[in-house]
Amino acid sequence: MTALIVGDDGLARCAWVGDDAEYRRYHDEEWGHPLRDDQRLFEKLCLEGFQAGLSWITILRKRPAFREAFRGFDVDAVAAMSEADVETLLGNPRIVRHRGKIQATISNARVTRELGESLTELMWGFAPNDPARPQPREFSEIPAVTSESTALSTALRARGYRFVGPTTMYALMQSAGMVDDHLAGCHRAGRPDGER
């Protein structure tokens, strides 16, 4: 696979975008932008868990339905969901209907509610601090797991979070801008463009 593609707008992008308009928007406007908002990080944590074993584009296309089903990923509202809500969600064809992932989302909301600290502070405490790190040039240079994602996974599991393995946490670190894995030459590489 070619590392970069050039869109009809003349901009070079990471080739995983392909020719999908929603993927291009996500790549340009979200992926790799620093995200320091507890509710949005909670949503990302949940959606990355749902993504395990699936493609991200599947989750991205279902994200509006997930937001509706999980009450905007408001931590208190999700934490209050019951077993009856789980059964309702299992019947919702617009989301990924996986009992374990649905139950983990509710359980993770309860853990988040009782954290006693900001989810943002907790998660960003594991972001690597390596300003000299060069942009990857090829997909093969991007790891699936790092020592930081493993440490974040361990810390979250110790607090009771589920579906937060090291690979899932590295994907979250990429998407939440804790690391910049836009490939060298991509118009987004090295440009966090502010925090969200």
pLDDT tens string 4-54:
999 899 999 999 999 899 999 999 999 999 999 999 999 999 999 999 889
pLDDT greater than 80 at residue 130 = no
Local confidence band at 133 (pLDDT 50, 70, 90 cut-offs): confident
The boundaries of every CATH 1.10.340.30 domain in the chain are: 33-128+141-175
CATH number, domain 33-128+141-175: 1.10.340.30
Which residues are catalytically annotated? 26, 48, 56
Residue with tokens 């649905």: 102
Q: 69 with 94: CB under 8 angstroms?
A: yes
pLDDT greater than 90 at residue 194 = no
pLDDT greater than 70 at residue 131 = no
**Entry pTM:** 0.93
Closest CA to 48 of 180, 149, 121, 194: 149
C-alpha triplet 42, 47, 48: angle, nearest 5°:
100
Local confidence band at 190 (pLDDT 50, 70, 90 cut-offs): confident
pLDDT greater than 60 at residue 195 = no
pLDDT tens string 148-184:
999 999 999 999 999 999 999 999 999 999 999 999 9
pLDDT at 53: 87
pLDDT at 66: 98
